[in-house]
Amino acid sequence: MSIKERIAAKVGELSGVDAAEIEGWFEVPPTPDKGDIALPCFKLARSLRKAPPMIAAELAEAFAGYEGIVRAEPAGGYLNFFLDRSDEARKVVLEVINSGESYGCSDEGEGRNVCIDFSSINICKPFGIHHITTTVLGHSLSRIFRHLGYSPVRINHLGDWGTQFGKMLVAYKKWGDRETIENAASPTRELVALYVKYHQEAETDPSLDDEARAAFRSIELHDPENWELYQWFKELTIREAERVYKLLGVEFDSYNGEAFYEDKMPAVIDELREKGVTTVDNGMTIVDLSAYDMPPCLILKSNGGTIYPTRDITAAIYRKNTYDFYKNLYVVAYQQNLHFRQVFKTLELMGYDWAKDCVHVNFGMISMADMTFSTRKGNAIYLEDVLMKAIEKTKAIMTEKSPDLPDMDEVARQVGVGAVVWGPLYSSRIKDFTFSWDKALNFEGETAPYAQYTHARCCSVLRKAEGYDIEKADWSCLDNESCSALVKAMKALPESIRLAADKYEPYLISRNVIEICSAFNKFYFENRIMDEDEGVRNARLALTLAAKTAIKTGLYLVGIEAPERM
């Protein structure tokens, strides 16, 4: 049992209040001189029929000489506990070391699948910087849920259906060359150039749009020639995207996109009608959601064509039938808030009680200073370019500061990519984010390079020590402010992981990692780790190993690698 559980159990015995309820009352005192944990006694007043200050005073006496507690001190209606720091340090350090990179793991999700729809790039386009947040957020959530025992199903719901692909066909047939595209360093950029040319030409030749609609209709009918070209466009896109995903360490279990659901929608449309969920309005088939303060959910256009909600409703039903998900997450920008509210409500009206398990994990927008994105105008920023530039800038910094660093290219990749990934995952996901090179590559600020450098510092200390003997550790030397702060930061990581899963907020882990790093660096400068005293040296080396393990675990969960040398 943890110290909180033990205190709650004892207070429960004395008060008759359920110990599990008491566990949720604990607070952290505002300053270390007021203790390590505090129990507000106000909620005990009813059961004990006494004033909170009196309860605090009486409980303080009950905890005199209690194992793991140096003293219990009443302060008004609070009871402040001062823990045995060295004993607490021993327990936390041993737990982290024994758990290794499984620190904070649990089996709470055993037997439960979590579908995570993220990244969802469009075919015929390179991977844009605006897809960074959905990609790294979804990737991080998949690692977090796996850490807690769930089985994540990682889905890249490709944008691979619509009239724009008819435009792509027209542009390719008029101005494209297969060999040129195949042999290009970036085939999708060749496709984008054709797409841009199409829109330039269409401004003076509106007939191109008629050709594009006809071309897309031929795709819908699986015309052999155009279907083959369409599949080729898709293969080129995925092949190139996987190059970027490899840099990011991202993998998927499914690339089923919009096109996958074309032959599955008719049955769902029939089901909607049979259940009386839809009505017809001006030739359009809709779900009237006015009773829920929402505009109608469009199922079929007046020409009988399907639309996004139709495909997402179909996809949700398919995922439930295929994966029997515990949760079905959509990591999509906040502009789609209404869309997902409509889809989830429609599923509920269809009688699916699991609609409540569908969650829109929304997020803010990403921008880069003085730049906007528009594929049609040819003004786009590609994620691969940003990653490669980050790696290049990182290598330049390392060449200047650590010219003899082994495996510099590999370390530059780890740090450069980490710098880009970190930004969207260091603040609440709903906040808009502006990417800044200076901030991202700062080795001193609250950035990935800072966390990675701290991890490398831990590794350096352990390499120089050439081993330690935990049996000979003198834990009493860890009873000081800097050691206590580091222990407290590491101890908080499992709860940060659990909250990150509950709230779909990886930034809670990122912030905790920075707290651990800051605390370790303070400990590093204030304590002689390689002390002459064997017991002191072994205890401080054990604390260093625990910090290294906790930092690496936290970084992994937000999709960032932890170099051992920098």
Mean pLDDT score, 50-61: 95
Mean pLDDT score, 300-310: 89
The tokens for 296 are: 């109608």
Distance (Å, rounded) from C-alpha 506 to C-alpha 142? 10
What CATH fold (topology level) applies to the domain 396-557?
A: Isoleucyl-tRNA Synthetase; Domain 1 (1.10.730)
Confidence of residue 129 (pLDDT cuts 50, 70, 90): confident
Q: Nearest-5° angle of CA 537, CA 449, CA 468?
A: 15
Percent of the chain at pLDDT above 70?
Answer: 98
Task: Output the CATH code of domain 3-83.
Answer: 3.30.1360.70
* The pLDDT value given to residue 369: 60
At position 301, the amino acid (one-letter code) is K
The tokens 């040129």 sit on which residue? 180
Does 26 have pLDDT greater than 70? yes
Strand pairing category for 366-368 and 279-281: unpaired
The tokens for 150 are: 């769930």
Distance (Å, rounded) from C-alpha 238 to C-alpha 408? 29
Distance (Å, rounded) from C-alpha 564 to C-alpha 67? 38
Distance (Å, rounded) from C-alpha 317 to C-alpha 307? 16
Nearest-CA neighbor of 387 among 180, 206, 559?
A: 559
Confidence of residue 258 (pLDDT cuts 50, 70, 90): very high
Confidence of residue 272 (pLDDT cuts 50, 70, 90): very high
Whole-number CA gyration radius for the chain: 29
Query: Would you call 441 helix, strand, or coil by DSSP?
Result: coil
Does 393 have pLDDT greater than 60? yes
Confidence of residue 41 (pLDDT cuts 50, 70, 90): very high
Looking at the DSSP assignment, which residues form a beta bridge with residue 251?
none
Nearest-CA neighbor of 38 among 82, 71, 70, 80?
A: 80
The tokens for 267 are: 């049955």
Domain(s) labelled CATH 3.30.1360.70 in the chain stretch across 3-83
Name 262's Cβ contacts closer than 8 Å, sequence gap at least 6: 161, 220, 306
Q: Which of 111-115, 186-190, 240-244, 304-308 shows the lowest mean pLDDT across its residues?
A: 304-308
Which tens digit of pLDDT belongs to each residue from 528-542?
999 999 999 999 999
For 227-292, strand residue ranges (E) read 279-281, 284-287
Which tens digit of pLDDT belongs to each residue from 99-116?
999 999 999 999 999 999
* The pLDDT value given to residue 379: 57
Domain(s) labelled CATH 1.10.730.10 in the chain stretch across 396-557
